[in-house]
Amino acid sequence: MGSAGPVSRKPDMRLTQQQLEAHLWGAANILRGKTAGQDYKNYILSLMFYKRLCDQWENEADEAIAELERQQGRAFTEAQKAVFRARGAHRFFIPEDCRWGDMLAVSVNLGEELTLAMRAVADANEELKGVFTVDWNQPAPDGSGRPLIPNEVVYALIQHFNSHDLSNASVPPDVLGGAYQYLLKKFADDAGAKAGEFFTPPEVVDTLVHILEPQPGDTIYDPTCGSGGMLVHSADFLREQGHRATAAQYFGQEMNWSNAAIGKINSVLHGLEAQIVAGASTITDPAFRGAAGKVRKFSLVLANFPFSDEFWWLKPEFQTDDKKKKDKLKKETFGKEGYKDPFGRFGRGTAFKAPPAGYGDYAFILHCLASLTDTGRAGVVCPQGVLFRGQPEVEEETGEFDDEGNPKVKRRKADDEHLIRRALLESRLIDAVISLPLNVFYGAGVPACLLILKKQRPPERHDQVLLVYAARHYRELSNQNELRPQDLMRILVHAHAYGDPAKVPDLVAQHSRRIGKQIDARETDEVERLEAEYADWADTLTRLETQLTKDSAALANLTAGAIRDKAKVGLARLQAQRDRAAAKVAERDEKIAETRRRADDDRRDVEVFGAELGAIYGDPDELIKHARVVGIDEVEENEFNLNIPRYVDTFDPEPRVEVKDALTALRDAESALKSAEGQLLALLRGAGYEAK
């Protein structure tokens, strides 16, 4: 790579978050369809981050030089500035020949040069190890030797990103972090089912975080961190409470290298300084270990693990399609007492049975539990199967009889999952279970729940479990369901009240205020986002209407003839362009109106649902349809089955119909039937058929 020297950086007006989002999504549109599957997100996110690092390096150098010039009362020459630029203190070091200006100067083999530059930046900064995983020079699969992403596409992306400065001077960290989160959501929507590997819906994460309430001094850990959303939301909560994000420490592990890279970038952009380890399974190779090889302890664990992973016990390199190989490994891995866990989380020598080979849910749950300090708490997204799968020990008649005529009985051992759930309950570790609506997760159509675990619980809750049925309330979208702000308020009031009606009024007021602000902010963001998205069309419409007025006046002064006819054709073409731009602006206005209608509905529903929650907690018969605090003794009577419908009345009765209304409907139906028969007979007669 040959150095292009310092880049002349013109002052860039500050971008709003919505303008930045439109700019970044424009880059995604350039690359979409030119890489394998959904990999294009990794290219766009890494290029955005690389541009940010380079621009901020230049910005830091400019600020340092300006300060030195101020102190010395003189202006430096360009040669002096070049020396100071190289020596200046920087958050991240960008090696010479690897800066943005160097990429702008490249005309051929741009993918190769860009890949080398990114890797050199990662090698020069310990915190950035593993961030740049993409290969811009990856060969096409046809064996031609050409790159998968053509040189001209990489060039177009470089030019696109070059149109805006991404340093703090133009894009503050909170704006860039917000835009990054927006991009992740857009990529998740685009990826569909595959998005579940790296993205948890923010509404679910927000709910978990506000139930567990991160505190300064917490060590926060996500064992399957994906793009790092759980960690980022925890930091956001701390900021809401007036603390710095760095008041806590953040840790994550992610098996997929590309997803871990996205998470690392997310962490850096949000100022978390998180330790994220990639490339190994949390179950087979936990990255964070303490004394004697056991897993390290954290005060807060948040997780959304792969649901019901059939091969949770296999290292990634052995998870191939070779079934026989897996069966052989299974025999070696599982003895008579189950999985041989070398990290002391379950199995021999612990209070918990090893999870069954075919379902990995409890492997992850027990890992989270083993990762908690003595006063720690955890919030885990689980399939609802963990609440009831597995049978207790039972005695069954064999159909045979002994010599005295008594039926012979055989005893069937309890299933492992039943035993694990029983041990969790008997150890008083499960604080709450919250069922969620169907289809709120990308690619997971199975019913899900939030499992809240606490090592140390208040004495009054020690022998209780809170069960919340939150599956009724959601917004139905085209591809999946979404938890609305008012739905989150319901869950949080139930979780924090823990069955105590006296707490409800203050909780409703508290969450109504907070969620109301969220609704207002979301409405403003979406409106500004739409205005940014359609800004070019709005400018075009203004320009065309001005031109039309001018050309129409000119046409009126022309006499009949070839020039007038030509002008009329040009005016008609201009009018068609104006109509197209007007249609786009009308489309924007309708979307803005829909955004405002939805926000108004949400604000009204928050108020209505708040009043409804007060009424629910004043009526025990109504409360039992939504939430219930259950004693462990009752759970034991139900054989430690936590299926929520056993305890909460989830039945939705059919709407009551008055007899007089039913009779009216019957008469109307009979009248409609008689009319239809008459019409049919008339049609038959018209066709020459006579009824006999």
Q: Are strands 338-339 and 464-469 parallel, antiparallel or unpaired?
A: unpaired
Directed axis angle between helix 504-533 and helix 485-497, to 10°? 150
Tell me the per-residue pLDDT of 176-192, one tens digit each, with 9 for 90 and over: 888 888 888 888 777 66
pLDDT band at 636 (very low <50, low <70, confident <90, very high): very high
- The model's pLDDT over 569-603, given as tens digits with 9 standing for 90+, comes to 888 888 999 999 999 999 999 999 999 999 999 99
Least confident of 245-254, 428-437, 531-540: 531-540
332, amino acid identity: E
Confidence of residue 690 (pLDDT cuts 50, 70, 90): low
Q: Which DSSP letter does residue 15 get?
A: P
CATH architecture of 183-393+412-470: 3-Layer(aba) Sandwich (3.40)
**Average pLDDT of span 79-95:** 79
Q: Where along the chain do its domains lie? A: 17-171, 183-393+412-470, 483-625, 657-692
CATH of span 17-171: 1.20.1260.30
DSSP states along 491-558? HHHHHHHTT-GGGHHHHHHHHHHHHHHHHHHHHHHHHHHHHHHTHHHHHHHHHHHHHHHHHHHHHHTP
With 90 as the cut, is the pLDDT of residue 250 above it?
yes
Longest dimension (CA), the chain: 122
Quote the crossing angle between the two packed helices 40-72 and 17-31, to the nearest 10°.
130
pLDDT of residue 652: 60
Classify 435 as helix, strand or coil.
strand
CA separation for the pair 395, 377 (Å, rounded):
37
CA distance 521 to 528: 11
Task: Give me the sign of the Cα torsion angle 603, 609, 612, 617.
Answer: negative
- Does residue 117 sit in helix, strand or coil? helix
Q: Would you state the torsion angle of the CA atoms of residues 253, 259, 262, 267, taken in this order, to the nearest 10 degrees?
A: -20
Residue 407 CA to residue 99 CA, distance in Å, equals 83
Q: Residue 653 above 70 pLDDT?
A: no
Determine the Cα–Cα distance for residues 26 and 157; give it in Å rounded to an integer: 9
pTM of the model: 0.85
Mean pLDDT score across all residues of the chain: 87
Q: Which two tokens stand for residue 200?
A: 């948890």
Q: Specify the DSSP element, H or E, that contains 475.
A: strand 475-476
Distance in angstroms (rounded) separating the CA atoms of residues 182 and 180: 5
Gap between the Cα atoms of 286 and 537, Å rounded: 52
Report the DSSP pairing between strands 448-454 and 430-435. antiparallel
Say whether pLDDT at 325 is over 80.
Answer: no
Say what the pLDDT of residue 3 is: 45
Q: Do domains 17-171 and 183-393+412-470 have the same CATH topology?
A: no
Distance between CA 259 and CA 399 in Å, rounded? Answer: 56
**3-class DSSP state of 338:** strand
- The answer to which of 121-125, 454-458, 611-615, 670-674 has the lowest mean pLDDT is 670-674
**What tens digit of pLDDT does each residue of 381-407 get?**
999 999 999 888 876 666 777 777 777
The pLDDT > 70 percentage for the chain reads 92
